[in-house]
Every structure is written in C-alpha cells, then in structure tokens.
C-alpha cells in the first residue's frame, strides 16, 4: 500500500515548507547575530581576529544552537503557514467542502517527522562537528602565547573490570602530553566484586607511548610493603595516545553516530555517562517532537480560526513556545541530576506534547 497525496495535501505541505523556511531563516539570523557579537567581544577583544575569521567561527558555532531551536521553527513555521491559509480563507473553503482537518494535518506531521530524522542523522552530525571545531578553536585562541605547561592538576582514569588505575599529574606539558609529578593509584577487583587499593606509584615524569606509561624516577609500593625506587618503569595502558589528555567532548559536540561509542568509552573508564545517555535519547525523540509541534500548531490555528482572533493566536503561540522550552529544560535538568532516568527525561516532553496536540486536534475537529 502506497501513500498518495492529493492536490490539497500537496498544497498545504508546500505552504508549510515555505513557512518553515522563513521561520528557519529568521531564527538562524538572530542566532548568528548574537553569536557574532559574542565572538567579537569575547575572543576578539584585542582586535587580533579579522572579520572573516570571526564570521568563520560564527559559521561553525551557530549551527549547533540552531539545531537545538528547530522545535520552535516547526512550531512557529507551521503556525505561520496555517495563519496564512486562514487569512486567505482557504482553510474555511476546505472545511466547508467537508474536508477533515486530519487529511492535511497528518501529512504535515509526517513531513515534520521525516525532517526530524534528517535533522538527527545528517544535519545534527554536521552541527556537532562544527561545535567541536568551535570548542577547539576557542581553546586554542584563549591559550595562544601562554606557557605550554598547564599548572592545573590533570586527572585520568583507565582500566577494566579487573583493574582500575587513577592517574594524577601535578601539571602537564602540552607540547608532548607529558605528565609532571605524576601519581598512579592502582585498584584491583576481588572475587566478591569489591574494589580494593593495591599499589601507589609516584614518578617525576610519565609519558604515554605505544600502549604503555613510561615512568622516570619512580617510587612505588604495594599496600603493607616497603617502597621501592625505579629509575624507569613501564605500566601497561589502554588509552590511545591522541585521546588520553583530551577531556571528554561535551554531549552537544557529538553526533548520534558517535554517542554510543563515547558512552561505552566513558563507562569503561568508570565515569558516569548520564549526560551522554540523556543526549542520545533526546536525539532519538527529536522526530516525534517535530511532528508533535506541527500538530499542536495546526490544532491551535484551527481552533482560533473560528474565533478570528489573530492577536490572541500570536500571544498564545509565544506562551506555548516558552512553556515547551521550560518543560524540556526542566526535564533535562531532572535527567542530568539522575532524579529520573535519561530515557524518561528525554521522551516525556515529546510524548506530552504529542498527546496534548492530538487531544486539542480531536477536540477542535470532533468537538
């Protein structure tokens, strides 16, 4: 069975896509303008960056923010499309001809769902790559001309189910990734599953290379035994050289294709991956959210079409947008704090929005 769209459905879809394009252009322009001011005042306070360089940084920074605001694009874009149809009395003519609202609302929701999939699988990864590049460039510009030796302590963790190693470096040489004043705390897992302290090793320097830590001027001792000095010693490592001293990329800098591997890596290192789990579930719920926002906007406009109050519709749309933002952010905060599971925190706003939209549409259409 194939889905065939009639002239009315195609016409409404065309109007919706045009309105979505306008809403996207307006929101993107506002975001880029704000980011341009932020980058100019933040990184370019000394005037060392050219205008083209600032525009380039804005070009890689803004897409990640725009992608996060796409639900508003579907809300206001769909609302604008139906307002336009309402002003030209085209919706009135369709309803007078006995055409059900479901006939042109559901194809619009299906289109939003498909666009949501494209956003998550294609546009989202590009925006995430841009955000990662922005974070890297901002760090490079802020650290330009500074001492290559980082004075802040460096903490690393690696291991598996049988052995865990916590590494602390008093400072780090960024030029070669070498840890200065390093301490290695080694823990082993007993048969009953409990982790116990096994050994501590202090070294003047620690260099990661070819799957091992090379320690110089080291002093180590196991629990209950006398310390032993080593001129050099090697410790096996499962850290990759290029990623060992990098902080875990923030969830917004990772695409849906990278998140599962990152979650596995974080869990294997013994850290909590709650924020990454939440981000993954939010991406999976995005298509449903886009469809729900389209249905909600359409149902809102259909109901207000009978009242003929355009000003009230605009105010209600703004209030609805802020209400969505509050619920989504509150749910995300609850998930990040592990008050609720990430799955619930990510899917609850989308499901509630979809249920509210369908309920409103049923009430508007069937009374």
Task: Give pTM, 2 decimals.
Answer: 0.76
pLDDT at 12: 84
Nearest to 108 by CA among 12, 222, 32: 12
Q: Are the beta carbons of 219 and 228 closer than 8 angstroms?
A: yes
- Map out the domains of the chain as residue ranges: 7-143+273-366, 149-268
Q: Are the beta carbons of 259 and 280 closer than 8 angstroms?
A: yes
Integer Cα distance of 25 and 10 in angstroms: 23
pLDDT per residue, tens digit, the chain (367 aa), is 344 667 877 888 888 899 999 999 999 999 999 988 888 877 655 556 677 888 888 888 899 889 988 988 998 888 888 888 877 777 777 777 777 777 778 888 898 999 999 999 999 899 988 888 888 787 777 666 555 455 567 777 777 777 888 888 877 765 566 788 889 998 888 777 788 888 899 999 988 887 788 899 999 888 777 888 889 998 888 776 555 555 566 788 888 998 888 888 777 666 678 888 999 999 999 999 999 988 888 877 775 555 556 667 667 767 877 787 788 889 988 988 888 899 999 999 889 888 888 888 887 766 5
Integer Cα distance of 120 and 128 in angstroms: 10
For residue 290, which phi and psi values (nearest 5 degrees)?
Answer: -60, -45
């Amino acid at each position: 069975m194939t889905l065939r769209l009639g002239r009315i459905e195609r016409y409404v879809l065309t109007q919706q896509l045009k309105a979505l394009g306008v809403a996207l252009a307006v929101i993107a322009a506002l975001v880029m303008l704000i980011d341009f001011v932020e980058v100019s005042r933040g990184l370019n306070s000394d005037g060392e960056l050219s205008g083209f360089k600032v525009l380039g940084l804005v070009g890689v920074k803004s897409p990640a923010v725009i992608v996060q605001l796409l639900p508003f694009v579907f809300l206001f874009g769909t609302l604008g499309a139906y307002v336009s149809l309402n002003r030209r009395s085209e919706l009135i003519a369709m309803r007078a001809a006995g055409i059900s609202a479901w006939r042109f609302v559901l194809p619009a929701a299906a289109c939003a769902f498909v666009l949501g999939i494209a956003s998550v699988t294609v546009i989202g990864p590009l925006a995430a790559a841009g955000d990662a590049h922005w974070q890297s460039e901002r760090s490079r510009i802020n650290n330009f001309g500074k001492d290559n030796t980082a004075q802040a302590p460096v903490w690393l963790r690696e291991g598996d189910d049988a052995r865990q190693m916590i590494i602390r470096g008093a400072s780090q040489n960024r030029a070669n990734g070498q840890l200065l004043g390093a301490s290695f705390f080694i823990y082993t897992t007993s048969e009953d599953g409990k982790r116990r302290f096994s050994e501590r090793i202090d070294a003047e320097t620690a260099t990661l290379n070819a799957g091992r830590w090379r320690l110089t001027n080291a002093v180590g001792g196991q629990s209950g035994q006398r310390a032993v000095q080593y001129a050099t010693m090697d410790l096996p490592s499962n850290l990759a050289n290029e990623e060992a001293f990098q902080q875990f990329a923030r969830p917004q800098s990772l695409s849906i294709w990278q998140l599962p591997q990152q979650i596995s890596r974080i869990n294997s290192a013994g850290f909590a991956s709650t924020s990454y789990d939440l981000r993954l579930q939010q991406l999976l719920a995005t298509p449903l959210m886009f469809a729900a926002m389209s249905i909600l906007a359409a149902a809102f406009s259909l109901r207000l079409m009978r009242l003929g109050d355009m000003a009230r519709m605009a105010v209600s749309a703004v209030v609805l947008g802020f209400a969505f933002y509050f619920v989504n952010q509150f749910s995300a905060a609850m998930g990040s704090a592990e008050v609720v599971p990430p799955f619930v925190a990510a899917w609850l706003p989308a499901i509630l929005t979809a249920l509210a939209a369908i309920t409103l549409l049923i009430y508007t259409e069937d009374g």
